[in-house]
Structure 1
Amino acid sequence: MARYYDVHPVDPQPRSINQAVDILRDGGLIAYPTDSCFALGAMLGNADAKDRIMRIRQLDDKHHFTLMCHDFAQLGQFVIIDNKVFRALKAATPGQYTFILPATSEVPRRFMHAKKKTVGVRIPSHPVVHSLLSALGEPLLTSTLLLPGEDEPMVDGWSIKDRLDHEVDAVIDSGECGTEPTTVVDFASGYPEIVRVGAGDPTPFE
């Protein structure tokens, strides 16, 4: 059964956050709120958790996994980014965007896109995620909690606990969060290509 943590949306309790981090470090998979919707998260080196995410969401190898990063210093370790792209990303973050960029050697190959060698990255504006990332000290391998056959991501913590009780190891709930996935912008070719219009305003990248 999954552990359930009910945390404050602005000032999450350190004890709960640290317990969730311990679960991640022990190889666990968690469901957690972001500024766009709930997501599934695991440590970057956790190959088993990647397989679990793919099984829960019924994904194929064309799926872009995302690294949820605490800040630009962390993000810069995992993707190749030139000055022009950096300025574009800096103007839009933190926020409800996922950016696809060429991965550095810091990203294990199994977590890159199978053919393009790219990975998604984002810097959220949700206090709970920032607390989680700060305590963890590294990015979270992340995928939107959108189940097969569903048109919208899951947004209620108790419903997630009930439905995925034997699929995830913990659920972090902070009440209402975003209800729409991020806007995805692909910079792999050096210029912005909007892959998905979501919660973030796509206008700056059109």
Structure 2
Amino acid sequence: MPLSILCHSFRDIDTYTTGFPRGDGQGHANIFRAVKHCLPGPYTFILTASKELPKQCIRNRTAAAKYAVRKNVGVRMPDDAICQAILDKTDAPLISTSVKCPKENEWLIDPVVIADMYGPEGLDFVVDGGVRVADPSTVVDMTVMPPKIIRQGKGPKLHWMVAEDDNESDAVHEANLIVASAT
């Protein structure tokens, strides 16, 4: 199951990743300027992991090899009040994952069910914020240009993102407009 990190600030994101694409003056858009307007929010951005990220966050056990190393990690700056309060008090990012029920392949949204199901497997604690709405984040791969939506979720597709069925040249043109309007 892929892990992501929940961050309180862009400082945290910059510590554990190589950061957002900032443009190069050669026609490539400064995506960071656009991202600042949608975080905190309902997005998970896949970025290149830095050496500061604990190895447990970027290793997946596989049958073929003891560990397969991922060089990328999902980062979130959630707009949820409970998550923001926890991140503020801990003053450190948290490791997170989306949880689906293995049998029904549906999101687990009841904290009591999550604790009952995963407590015996080593879950340390669950923050009971009540039964939640299953609204997964939109996952955007920032390691490719233009940024590509991997999973459409609560966050709307923005003009600088591409989806599977988009014409990528249109999205690159739109992303370059960000640079022109922001400067």
Instruction: Give TM-score, length-normalised by structure 1.
Output: 0.63
Q: How does 1:119-158 map onto structure 2 within 5 Å?
A: 119-158=73-112
Q: How does 1:1-206 map onto structure 2 within 5 Å?
A: 59=1, 63=2, 65-80=3-18, 81-83=20-22, 84-112=30-58, 114-167=68-121, 168-204=123-159, 205-206=161-162
Q: How many angstroms apart in 1 are the aligned matches of 2:45 and 2:109?
A: 22
**Amino acid aligned to 1:75:** I
State the Cα distance separating 1:201 from its structure 2 match: 1.1
Q: Does the 8 A contact of 1:97 with 1:183 survive in 2?
A: yes
**Partner of 1:164: helix, strand, or coil?**
helix
Deviation per CA, 1:78-121: give whole Å up to 9, x if none. 11223212123212111111000111111133422645511110
State the Cα distance separating 1:176 from its structure 2 match: 4.1
Q: Percent identity?
A: 33
Deviation per CA, 1:107-137: give whole Å up to 9, x if none. 1334226455111101001111112112222
**Amino acid aligned to 1:76:** D
Q: How many angstroms apart in 2 are the aligned matches of 1:125 and 1:88?
A: 17
Q: Hey, which bits of structure 1, 4+ residues long, moved more than 3 A?
A: 113-116
Q: Does the 8 A contact of 2:21 with 2:142 survive in 1?
A: no
**Amino acid aligned to 1:69:** C
- CA change 1:136–1:119 in 2 (3 A) is same
Q: How many angstroms apart in 1 are the aligned matches of 2:136 and 2:21?
A: 26
Q: How many angstroms apart in 2 are the aligned matches of 1:98 and 1:138?
A: 18
Partner of 1:49: none
Which structure is richer in relative contact order (CA contacts within 8 A, separation 6 or more)?
Answer: 1
State the Cα distance separating 1:183 from its structure 2 match: 0.8
Q: Does the 8 A contact of 1:68 with 1:123 survive in 2?
A: yes
- CA change 1:193–1:115 in 2 (3 A) is farther
Equivalences, count: 144
- CA change 1:161–1:110 in 2 (3 A) is closer
Partner of 1:21: none
Bigger strand share: 1
Unaligned 5+ segments in structure 2 are: 23-29, 60-67, 163-183
Unaligned 5+ segments in structure 1 are: 1-58
